[in-house]
Amino acid sequence: MTTFLVNSQTISPKEFPKQCDLTLKSQHLFTYNATMAMITNHHWPYIPMGLAELRRLTKGPVIIMTFDPAALDKFWNAKYFPELIEGEKAKFPQIELITNGLRGNCKVTEIPIPLNCADGFQEAFLQKELRLSQSAWVFFPKKVKNKLVKKLHDDLKSREWDKKYGHFRTQPFFSSALRLIVSIE
């Protein structure tokens, strides 16, 4: 079981936000009217502590955009990049961990992605520049990346992708794992 050490006292993750508030109240130098974290919390070394600090320093809403790891395999790319998806599922925190870390009173909204999204969809993953802008790809050796991208390239070229997933091209939006979490104090 994960525990935290605060002022020489061991506490559970569930109790951490309350204890953090009590411990840090005297260090409360300034606050923000609102704070946000956009697809970043999976890079934090201690997510509960980061969430508690956001809540402590924020008088108003805390806004977090993240991916729901439980929904990451809803997207067609889970069939082409299973290693990448499994890695992301392990890194992104569960939605409940975030809402608990923000002390509840959260609204979680599934964010639809428009078909004409600037990041693109299917063919966009063939672009090395796009993959370099997504942290998930940096954890794989070049050989693995090439294998994953080649499968997608071959299926797009043979139109096999369109047979399986072509209906996504005509939908105005695609809903998958992107979530907006808003916590009001």
Q: How many other C-beta atoms lie within 10 A of the C-beta of residue 82? A: 12
Q: Copy the structure tokens of residue 106.
A: 């959260």
pLDDT, tens digit (0-9, with 9 covering 90-100), for 81-108:
898 899 899 999 999 999 999 987 899 9
173 close to 113: Cβ distance less than 8 angstroms: yes
Residue 87's Cβ-count burial label (10 Å; 0-12, 13-18, 19+) is: middle
| Domain positions in the chain | 4-183
**End-to-end CA, the chain:** 29
Coil, strand or helix at 31: coil
* DSSP summary character for residue 114: E
Which of 155, 149, 144, 118 shows the shortest CA–CA distance to 131?
Answer: 149
Is the whole model's pTM more than 0.75, yes or no? yes
What fold characterizes domain 4-183? Rossmann fold (3.40.50)
Q: What is the C-alpha to C-alpha distance for residues 23 and 19, in angstroms, rounded to an integer?
A: 6
pLDDT, tens digit (0-9, with 9 covering 90-100), for 147-175:
989 999 999 999 999 999 888 888 888 88
